[in-house]
Amino acid sequence: MNQVHAYELAGVRIESSIELPLPGTAAKNGGAGIRVEMDEPLPTAEAPSRADWLWKSYQEAVLSYPSLGRARVSNGRSIVLRPCRSPEDRSTEWRGLLIPCFAAIFHQRGALCLHASAVCRNGKAYGLMGPCGAGKSTLVASLVGNGTEFLSDDLLLVEPGKGGKGFLAHPGFSIIKLWDDSLKRTGSRFSRLGRLYPDAVKEGFVPSPADSVLRTVPLEALYVLRDGDEIAVKTLPKCDALGVLLENSYGAQVFEGKPMPLHFRQCGELAANVPVRALTRPRKFAALAAVRNAVIESMDTV
């Protein structure tokens, strides 16, 4: 019988046949909200030739990745992985692709999943949004250990606070994706995990428990990363904030990029309750310390 690993993410118990970079759960039973299983390898003829998502319906999505395999995400409850045939054990390489799979499954469960990395300062969460390659993880790597702690990378699950007051941010996967260059320039406070998916340029790193927050915390503000010549932090009008949230949340890609009513209302509620700030900055390592200091200063400004 295969070993089953039990974890918890955003209050949902997860049982997985492969190890995941998530905090374990002390509860031994209680029923899994989500199951992750490794199925039989794909026949060679069915191996995917390109990376893509196929949403057959809101409750049925398939992520394909060449030389790795397919992940079927169903009904907010099940992720089934079918690997390509390979002489090597590639189970560790699923860890990078499981992050978007978990975004999809939580989206199916009706949760609001931001494409954001996050840190915690003085017990409050701050999210950094932006498209792939915008520099979210690099900025997080620079912030962690300089008065802030790691909360999540690439996927930030948020929900309204009790009684409709504010929003809460959940800790995510204990993993951060970085270019080697970024790691060197930000100072190494992370241990190397290795490649997260085949042919990846970035590698996975693990923040130390001392630098991490493993509890749900109030979400104080969100930043969206933008390129510019000068460093500036500006709070966006709520309607602009809504547009930014729709662009930087998982779910908009379902059904030809059109937001669904629930997703639209969730982003609206978040925009109404949590300030969204545009962080404009030059994208060069020489400016990174100054950008970090500007972000920390704005975090401390009520």
Partner 1 sequence: MNPSGDLSDDTLGAAVSDQPTCDLSSEAAVLHLPDGLFYGLNKTGAFLSERLQARVRVGNSPRTRDSGFGDAGKGGAA
By the criterion CB under 8 A, which residues form the site for partner 1? 237-239, 242-243, 246, 256-259, 261, 264-265, 267-269, 271-272
Contact 227, 283 (CB under 8 A): yes
Nearer to partner 1, 41 or 243 (CB): 243
Phi-psi region of 11 (alpha: psi -120 to 50; beta: other; left: phi over 0): left
* Dist CA 191 CA 175 (whole Å): 10
Q: How far is the CB of 110 from partner 1 (least distance, A)?
A: 15
Q: How far is the CB of 257 from partner 1 (least distance, A)?
A: 6
**Which contiguous run of DSSP H or E holds residue 151?**
strand 149-152
Nearer to partner 1, 253 or 293 (CB): 253
Nearer to partner 1, 193 or 242 (CB): 242
Q: Residue 106: which residues within 8 A CB-CB, separation 6 or more?
A: 9, 10, 12, 76, 113, 157, 250
Nearer to partner 1, 178 or 271 (CB): 271
* Dist CA 205 CA 188 (whole Å): 10
Q: How far is the CB of 273 from partner 1 (least distance, A)?
A: 9
Task: Spell out a b/e string for 48-61, using b for 16 or more CB atoms within 10 Å of the CB, else e.
Answer: beeeeeeeeeeeeb
Contact 186, 141 (CB under 8 A): yes
Q: How far is the CB of 239 from partner 1 (least distance, A)?
A: 4
Tokens of 260: 């669904």
What 3-state class would DSSP assign to 91? helix
Q: How far is the CB of 123 from partner 1 (least distance, A)?
A: 25
In this structure, are strands 12-16 and 5-9 parallel, antiparallel, or unpaired? antiparallel
Tokens of 102: 């978990």
Nearer to partner 1, 23 or 268 (CB): 268
Nearer to partner 1, 27 or 262 (CB): 262
Q: How far is the CB of 164 from partner 1 (least distance, A)?
A: 12
Q: How far is the CB of 166 from partner 1 (least distance, A)?
A: 13
Nearer to partner 1, 171 or 251 (CB): 251
Tokens of 103: 């975004």
